[in-house]
């Protein structure tokens, strides 16, 4: 590419200089840092942690995946078009995300205020923000559902649970309760990271087994449960007639 197509020294952003290929180098780079290979992207070419943002990129440049600033004229036209398209669509997604978050906050605030007014008639206060709630329109065609899901984990007592449960397996007579053995072995099967599924472990509480060791194991399991986080879910439903089932209004982009 002719040198005349590149920015001159006077046109460079403050604090940078261009090498023979037009890549921006900090003027504070130590002598010999780029090993004299002016036509290669040197290790000292400026990088910033804010990848994906344009506010720190000088005009006339694009940043590559390694963080180097590349002159715009050295980037193929289709790559420039793709970069612009991705940035425009990403910004649209950010705006949509902000709108959805604002909508959810409004719903939670409005529902909380309504619930307080509704319970005040009976001199009762809401027990808290957590819980499940369904509000239905007067004609029965629209519904708002708010639910709370807790993510649980187990403390160190889960090791005692596992030991007691496997002790039960040893005490079960050969050939009996085969389905229980399968459930137990499945409950404590870990993934590739060594993590067991809390959902599968909690299914053991549903088993009705009249055995002292099993009951001790289930008591230990209940004691080991810890709620590590909670998340509120908002779902909006509608239907055309009361004879139809409700259909959810998708707020997930992939389901819209």
Max distance between CA atoms of the chain, in angstroms, equals 88
Residue 196: count of CB within 10 angstroms of its CB: 16
* Contact present, 235 and 175 (Cβ < 8 Å): no
Whether 181 and 220 map to the same domain: the answer is: yes
Which residues, given as ranges, of the chain have pLDDT below 70? Answer: 1-55, 128-130, 173-177, 256
Pair 145, 186 in one domain: yes
CA neighbours within 13 Å on the CB side: how many for 115?
A: 18
**Do 255 and 136 share a structural domain?**
yes
Cα 123 to Cα 145, 184, 244: the distances in Å are: 24, 48, 37
Structure tokens at 192: 């590739």
Instruction: Please say whether the beta carbons of 91 and 79 come within 8 A.
Output: no
How far is residue 196 CA from its own chain's centroid? 20
Q: pTM of the full predicted structure?
A: 0.63
Does 206 lie in the same domain as 168? yes
Instruction: Give the pLDDT confidence score for residue 133 in this predicted structure.
Output: 92
User: Looking at residue 54, what is its pLDDT?
Assistant: 63
236 phi and psi angles, rounded to 5 deg: -120, 130
Can you give the residue range of the structural domain that contains 196? 131-256
Count: domains in the chain: 3
Q: In terms of residues, how long is the chain?
A: 256
**Are residues 34 and 80 located together in one domain of the fold?**
no
CA 233 distance to own-chain centroid = 14
pLDDT for the residue 108: 92
Convert the pLDDT of each residue in 15-65 to its tens digit.
666 666 566 655 544 344 444 444 444 444 455 545 556 667 888 999 999
Does residue 10 sit in the same domain as residue 70?
yes
Kindly state whether residues 170 and 191 are assigned to the same domain. Answer: yes
The reply to whether 215 and 111 lie within a common domain is no
């Amino acid at each position: 590419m002719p040198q005349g197509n590149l920015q001159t020294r006077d046109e460079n952003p403050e604090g940078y200089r261009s090498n023979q290929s037009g890549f921006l180098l900090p003027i504070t780079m130590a002598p010999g840092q780029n090993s004299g290979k002016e036509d290669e992207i040197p290790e000292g070419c400026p990088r910033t942690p804010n990848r994906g943002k344009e506010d720190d990129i000088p005009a006339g440049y694009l940043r590559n995946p390694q963080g180097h600033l590349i002159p715009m004229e050295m980037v193929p036209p289709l790559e420039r078009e793709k970069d612009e398209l991705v940035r425009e669509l990403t910004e649209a997604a950010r705006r949509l995300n902000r709108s959805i978050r604002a909508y959810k906050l409004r719903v939670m605030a409005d529902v909380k205020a309504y619930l307080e007014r509704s319970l005040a008639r009976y001199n009762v206060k809401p027990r808290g923000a957590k819980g499940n709630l369904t509000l239905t329109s007067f004609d029965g065609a629209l519904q708002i559902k708010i639910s709370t899901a807790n993510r649980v984990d187990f403390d160190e007592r889960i090791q005692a649970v596992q030991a007691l449960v496997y002790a039960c397996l040893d005490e079960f007579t050969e050939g009996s309760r085969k389905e229980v053995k399968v459930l137990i072995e499945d409950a404590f099967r870990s993934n590739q990271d060594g993590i067991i599924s809390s959902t599968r472990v909690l299914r053991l509480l549903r088993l009705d087994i009249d055995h002292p060791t099993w009951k001790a194991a289930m008591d230990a399991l209940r004691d080991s449960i810890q709620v590590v986080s909670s998340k509120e879910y908002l779902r909006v439903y509608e239907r055309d007639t009361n004879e139809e089932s409700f259909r959810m209004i998708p707020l997930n982009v992939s389901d819209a």
